[in-house]
């Protein structure tokens, strides 16, 4: 696992401004027009007020290979991301468990930079550890085995060598299976507390940000804080769901809902 460290030099301005935005689990697909529209509005509005945008996994519901960029729906998303890039916003991409096949062709098309699974963002005051979160769900043994398999270059080469239409069909089947599984189990797995503590300690981070679990919250530990990003759904939920986290120039973090209103994340204290 490679890791690079870099700094946000614009921390500590007199008036707090937005330094970076973090968003994950939008689960974009052509089947969810309202969520798609909400995300496009985000890219045209709030995202333009920052200098760095971190897409922290599962932006897409599924991604079967960069040769699917030509799909008209994907073109719309790529154009919107590229417009942000041309507006001077640095866009960083972290893979999720659904769009881990996004590669350099997609990154080049959209003007974004691919990040490793675990990324340290140094704010001057704090070390922020960024990750999607699926690798920390160590209690889900079948998923961990699946993850290990599909992250192997050999598996990916074999998958990508199949015709595009066949890969789309496989993705459709996998989505159906995962929707049934989630309906039965009522919920996605959560991250493992011991795995979190080990990872944060290893990186010496004071703040961790992740998504994946669809359980937006701020977890307060003795040594660090853990922010969980919300998932987005403006098509099925009774009230539109989604939002993002903003890193401000004073080093603080502020959550926003899908309408762009400042919001408070539920607070969960953890025993030492």
Which residues contact Mn ion (rule: CB under 5 A)? 58, 96-97, 212
Residue nearest to Mn ion (CB): 212
Q: How far apart are CA 29 and CA 35, in angstroms?
A: 9
Q: How far apart are CA 258 and CA 272, in angstroms?
A: 33
Sign of CA dihedral 106, 5, 22, 249: negative
Q: Give the residue with the Cβ less far from Mn ion, 29 or 97.
A: 97
Q: Give the residue with the Cβ less far from Mn ion, 19 or 22.
A: 22
Bridge-based pairing of strands 267-269 and 5-7 is unpaired
Least separation in angstroms between CB 27 and Mn ion: 8
Q: Give the residue with the Cβ less far from Mn ion, 24 or 249.
A: 24
Least separation in angstroms between CB 131 and Mn ion: 11
Least separation in angstroms between CB 263 and Mn ion: 21
Q: From residue 129, how far is each of 139, 203, 227 by CA, in Å?
A: 21, 7, 10
Q: Give the residue with the Cβ less far from Mn ion, 8 or 102.
A: 102
Least separation in angstroms between CB 228 and Mn ion: 12
Q: Give the residue with the Cβ less far from Mn ion, 140 or 193.
A: 140
Least separation in angstroms between CB 31 and Mn ion: 17
Q: How far apart are CA 271 and CA 41, in angstroms?
A: 40
The runs of H, that is alpha helices, within 52-209 are: 72-86, 104-110, 141-150, 153-160, 164-185, 193-203
Residue 150: CB atoms within 10 Å: 13
Q: How far apart are CA 151 and CA 214, in angstroms?
A: 22
Q: Give the residue with the Cβ less far from Mn ion, 128 or 137.
A: 137
Closest CA to 86 of 114, 113, 110, 57: 110
Least separation in angstroms between CB 264 and Mn ion: 24
Contacts of 10 (CB under 8 A, 6+ apart): 17, 19, 51, 249
Q: Give the residue with the Cβ less far from Mn ion, 19 or 188.
A: 188
Helix, strand, coil distribution of the chain in percent, nearest 5? 35, 20, 45
Q: Give the residue with the Cβ less far from Mn ion, 187 or 272.
A: 187
Least separation in angstroms between CB 99 and Mn ion: 9
C-alpha R_g of the chain: 18
Least separation in angstroms between CB 36 and Mn ion: 18
Reading the block at residue 40, the tokens are: 């496009």
């Amino acid at each position: 696992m490679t890791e690079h460290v870099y700094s946000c030099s614009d921390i500590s301005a007199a008036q707090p401004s937005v330094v970076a935005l973090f968003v994950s689990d939008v689960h974009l697909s052509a089947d969810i027009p309202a969520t798609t529209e909400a995300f496009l509005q985000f890219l045209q509005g709030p995202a333009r007020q920052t200098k760095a945008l971190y897409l922290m996994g599962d932006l897409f519901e599924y991604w079967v290979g960069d040769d699917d960029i030509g799909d008209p729906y994907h073109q719309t998303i790529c154009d919107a991301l590229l417009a942000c890039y041309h507006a001077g916003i640095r866009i960083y991409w972290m893979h999720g468990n659904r769009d881990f096949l996004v590669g350099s062709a997609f990154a080049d098309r959209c003007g974004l930079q691919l990040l490793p699974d675990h990324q340290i963002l140094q704010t001057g005051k704090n070390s922020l550890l960024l990750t999607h979160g699926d690798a920390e769900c160590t209690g889900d043994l079948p998923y961990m085995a699946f993850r290990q398999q599909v992250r192997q270059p050999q598996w990916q080469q074999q998958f990508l060598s199949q015709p595009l239409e066949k890969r789309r069909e496989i993705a459709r089947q996998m989505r159906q299976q995962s929707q049934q599984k989630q309906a039965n189990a009522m919920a996605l797995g959560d991250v493992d507390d011991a795995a979190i503590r080990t990872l944060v300690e290893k990186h010496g981070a004071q703040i961790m940000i992740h998504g994946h679990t669809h359980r937006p919250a701020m977890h307060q530990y003795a040594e660090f804080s853990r922010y969980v990003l919300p998932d987005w759904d403006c098509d099925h939920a009774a009230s539109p769901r989604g939002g993002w986290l903003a890193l401000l120039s004073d080093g603080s973090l502020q959550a926003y809902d899908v309408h762009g209103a400042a919001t408070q994340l539920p607070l969960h204290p953890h025993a030492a």
